[in-house]
């Protein structure tokens, strides 16, 4: 059994190096193409893909397939490339497409790896900032070359909590209940923020600048959040469904909670009182 764990640990070490390397290469491509970006496909007024998304995705997928031909890949643009193996890469070549298209620096490349349906590795890379986060489920997590850990805050009254509330047309989540939860947590915490999902905020949770995060929205895909989960868990944080169970891809539309671990039960209790 120890040999199996050692072998998996060695594989994950190699995956970590390769995932960060290809994320940086995709980031270089995105920087080069930002001045020439054009919308290629549009789902609605706020949801579209650009020529740069497609190019970065192709670079990442071709690199993975060349070095790991038996690994499956789930990508935002291409969907699932199923190789029926133990490993699956989850990639978002350009997270923050609207920001990228508008010329902002707030965009990133996200890569995660699952082993037998469990997330074991997450990487996010912000090209314009030249900043990356890398996390392995059992640790460590790093932002650039610095090992990070979640806060050791034990009291909800001293906490900073970020909440992602649903859009008014969300078919699963109630905006009214979410706003009631914001009000309740606002009265019990030091500070509450309302914002949509942002990988940078999850990195802030991993390094102790935030104490908790609640996603009460069915928007987005597994590729949007998968890379952040090992970073938080590797920094000694905790991620779960709204009911406290392990978060899997199929449960994402129902929301999740991430925290510094110490406040997790308190946040779940407040959810039960108001939201569930």
Q: Is 51 helix (H, G, I), strand (E, B) or coil?
A: helix
d(CA 240, CA 46): 28
Task: Quote the pLDDT of residue 1.
Answer: 42
Mean pLDDT of 128-139: 93
d(CA 239, CA 259): 7
What residues form DSSP beta bridges with 133? 124, 143
Residue 254's closest CA among 170, 173, 197, 166?
Answer: 173
CB atoms within 10 A of CB 229: 23
Mean pLDDT of 62-76: 96
pLDDT digits (tens, 9 = 90+) for 3-27: 445 588 899 999 999 999 999 999 9
Whether 38 has a pLDDT exceeding 80, the answer reads: no
Structure tokens at 27: 């980031």
Per the CB < 8 A criterion, the answer to whether 112 and 128 are in contact is no
Please give the helix or strand (H or E) that residue 180 lies within, else none: helix 175-188
Q: Which residue has the tokens 């940086």?
A: 24
Distance of alpha carbon 49 from the chain centroid: 19
Task: Quote the pLDDT of residue 2.
Answer: 47
Judged by average pLDDT, the poorest of 48-52, 65-69, 88-92, 185-189 is: 48-52
Confidence tier at 110 by pLDDT (50, 70, 90)? very high
Per the CB < 8 A criterion, the answer to whether 26 and 131 are in contact is no
Q: Can you give the pTM of this predicted structure?
A: 0.92
d(CA 72, CA 80): 7
Per the CB < 8 A criterion, the answer to whether 227 and 122 are in contact is yes
Structure tokens at 72: 């499956």
Task: Quote the pLDDT of residue 34.
Answer: 85
Alpha-carbon separation of residue 3 from 10, 14, 117, 250 (angstroms): 10, 17, 21, 32
Structure tokens at 20: 């960060």
What are the structural domains, with CATH classification, of the chain? 2-129 (3.30.540.10), 156-274 (3.40.190.80)
Residue 132's closest CA among 140, 101, 141, 220?
Answer: 141
In this structure, are strands 79-81 and 131-136 parallel, antiparallel, or unpaired? unpaired
Residue 26's closest CA among 92, 122, 75, 89?
Answer: 92
Q: Which residue has the tokens 């998996």?
A: 8
Per the CB < 8 A criterion, the answer to whether 75 and 22 are in contact is no
């Amino acid at each position: 059994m120890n040999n199996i764990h050692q072998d998996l640990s060695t594989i994950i070490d190699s995956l970590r190096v390769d995932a960060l390397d290809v994320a940086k290469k995709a980031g270089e491509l995105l920087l080069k193409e930002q001045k020439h970006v054009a919308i290629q496909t549009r789902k609605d007024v706020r949801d579209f893909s650009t020529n740069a998304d497609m190019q970065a995705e192709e670079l990442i997928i071709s690199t993975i397939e060349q070095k790991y031909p038996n690994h499956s890949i789930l990508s935002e643009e291409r969907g699932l490339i199923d190789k029926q193996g133990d490993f699956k890469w989850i990639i978002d070549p350009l997270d923050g497409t609207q920001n990228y298209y508008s010329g902002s620096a707030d965009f990133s490349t996200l890569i995660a790896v699952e082993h037998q349906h469990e997330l074991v590795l997450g990487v996010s890379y912000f090209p314009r900032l030249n900043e990356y986060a890398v996390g392995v489920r059992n640790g460590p997590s790093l932002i650039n070359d610095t090992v990070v850990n979640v806060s050791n805050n034990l009291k909800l009254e001293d906490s900073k909590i970020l909440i992602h509330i649903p859009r008014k047309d969300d078919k699963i989540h109630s905006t009214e209940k979410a706003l009631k939860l914001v009000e309740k947590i606002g009265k019990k915490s030091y500070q509450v923020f309302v914002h949509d999902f942002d990988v940078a905020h999850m990195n802030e949770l991993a390094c102790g600048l935030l104490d908790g995060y609640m996603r009460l929205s069915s928007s987005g895909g597994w590729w949007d959040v998968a890379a952040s989960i090992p970073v938080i868990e590797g920094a000694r944080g905790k991620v779960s469904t709204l009911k406290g169970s392990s978060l899997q891809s199929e449960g994402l539309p129902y929301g999740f909670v991430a925290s510094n671990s110490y406040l997790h039960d308190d946040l779940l209790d407040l959810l039960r009182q108001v939201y569930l």
